[in-house]
Amino acid sequence: MLLVMSAAPRKPRGKARSNPAIFAQVEPHIKEKWNAMVEATGVSHVRLMEEIVARMDLDAQGRPVWWPDVDDSQGELPMKSA
């Protein structure tokens, strides 16, 4: 039996040169999960990241809708009234 592996769809050569890079150090189990997602989808790491972010719904503050609600005043000094 002959198994043929198709390569992940790629962008044209040189297309990503001007794109900014994202780098993150993550726990090993997160990297393993990411690699499994890349393999299961059959696309590149970059393509998967682009698709996830493009499809993510944001709230009015620009956070993912699933992000826990936090106090927006963290780190701000109270305003003095005159």
The pLDDT assigned to 77 comes to 63
Half-sphere exposure of 54 (CA within 13 A, CB side): 6
The pLDDT assigned to 69 comes to 83
Query: Domain map of the chain by residue range?
Result: 23-64
The pLDDT assigned to 3 comes to 47
The pLDDT assigned to 17 comes to 74
Distance of alpha carbon 32 from alpha carbon 30, whole angstroms = 5
DSSP character at residue 67: S
Q: What is the mean pLDDT of each run of 10 residues along the chain (82 residues)?
A: 53 72 94 97 95 96 91 64 60
Distance of alpha carbon 78 from alpha carbon 32, whole angstroms = 44
Q: Which two tokens mark 65?
A: 């809708």
Residue 51, CA distances (Å) to 33, 41, 48, 56 in order: 16, 11, 5, 9
Question: pTM for this one?
Answer: 0.64
